[in-house]
Amino acid sequence: MAGKASKARGAETIDTAATGAAAAHTPSAFLEVRDLKIHFPSDDGLVKSVDGLSFELERGRTLGIVGESGSGKSVTSLGILGLHNRRNAKVSGEIWLDGQELVGATEEQVRRLRGRDMAMIFQDPLSSMHPFYTVGQQIVEAYRIHHDVSKKAARKHAIEMLGRVGIPKPDRRVDDYPHQFSGGMRQRAMIAMALSCDPELLIADEPTTALDVTVQAQILDLIRDLQREFNSAVIMITHDLGVVAELSDDILVMYGGRSVEYGSVEDVFHRPEHPYTWGLLGSMPRLDRDRTERLMPIKGTPPSLINLPPGCAFSPRCAFEGLTDGKATTERPELRESAPGHKVACHLPAERRRQIWAEEIAPKL
């Protein structure tokens, strides 16, 4: 299904780009993702990693995407960057980056944007850097692809970037190999590489998961400072609610490839309305609260992306599924606005949700 459709769409995008005519949809936001679907056919069936995701992001703001493993958060980021394998992934929907549509764009077009306009910080800097080349060579390569400069100038830029991200003695360190760096420094080098072309969109996929807490604090500080300096839009993907609380302006909670809640940090942490978000908050032991006797885990396990439960994907694990008159197991809930800027995909009536949160969930957290 995707082959023909995406080709047709590709042609359309090029047309609009060429003529400069108004497209069918003119996105207002810097990054706009609309009804994004990324499916992978497999021997066992179609894996719906991302299944109808929409969000917007402005320059200078940070969107936190939270979810458990297998919720589709990393696939989303790879999809935006066009890093998924085009042969075995079926992508549909729209991704608009600064007025340019990416889903239908050719590989060549995406490659020109990748690195220059959008860049990514990966989770594991050891496996995402090439062990055979020095850190400097890798930054130089990324820089020279997009800038017509001499090797010498690019190297100077690489040293400058390494210094900027806080690597001591960058002029010497630039000739080191990745294995000679510690975990925290590798992540800094990774950030230097991502920022070397001054991208407007930075995607950080679990940037601190592999790091120790004291180093995590350093890296989060660094990302925050650099974002202020470059005024880039940042997507922060993580399973750690603490990290998003600190860094994000808006939060998207994903479950089973779909977004279940979307709102500002205050909305999601102080007025969460989706039972899954309640579950996440209840599962976390927290330093700033009294040491309660028991945590409140979510029962069951995350669903298989091949056989999502019918209706609401969270319904088998939801404690309030019974209050929806059976709608939760038959009908898929839409992401609807429940308060300005705060969207929730749940069949429970909004007033009921707020009541449950205030009376049953919040006091126990």
Binding site residues, other proteins, CB under 8 A:
68-69, 167-168, 180, 182-185, 212-218, 220-221, 239-243, 245-246, 265-266, 269-270, 279-288, 291, 294-299, 301-302
- Taking the complex as a whole, how short is the minimal distance between the CB of residue 13 and other proteins, in angstroms? 38
- Taking the complex as a whole, how short is the minimal distance between the CB of residue 25 and other proteins, in angstroms? 33
63 versus 81: smaller Cβ distance to other proteins: 63
Task: At 59, list the tokens.
Answer: 């320059």
- Taking the complex as a whole, how short is the minimal distance between the CB of residue 265 and other proteins, in angstroms? 4
- Taking the complex as a whole, how short is the minimal distance between the CB of residue 130 and other proteins, in angstroms? 19
- Taking the complex as a whole, how short is the minimal distance between the CB of residue 272 and other proteins, in angstroms? 12
101 versus 267: smaller Cβ distance to other proteins: 267
148 versus 290: smaller Cβ distance to other proteins: 290
- Taking the complex as a whole, how short is the minimal distance between the CB of residue 124 and other proteins, in angstroms? 14
2 versus 296: smaller Cβ distance to other proteins: 296
157 versus 317: smaller Cβ distance to other proteins: 317
- Taking the complex as a whole, how short is the minimal distance between the CB of residue 63 and other proteins, in angstroms? 14
100 versus 218: smaller Cβ distance to other proteins: 218
120 versus 211: smaller Cβ distance to other proteins: 211
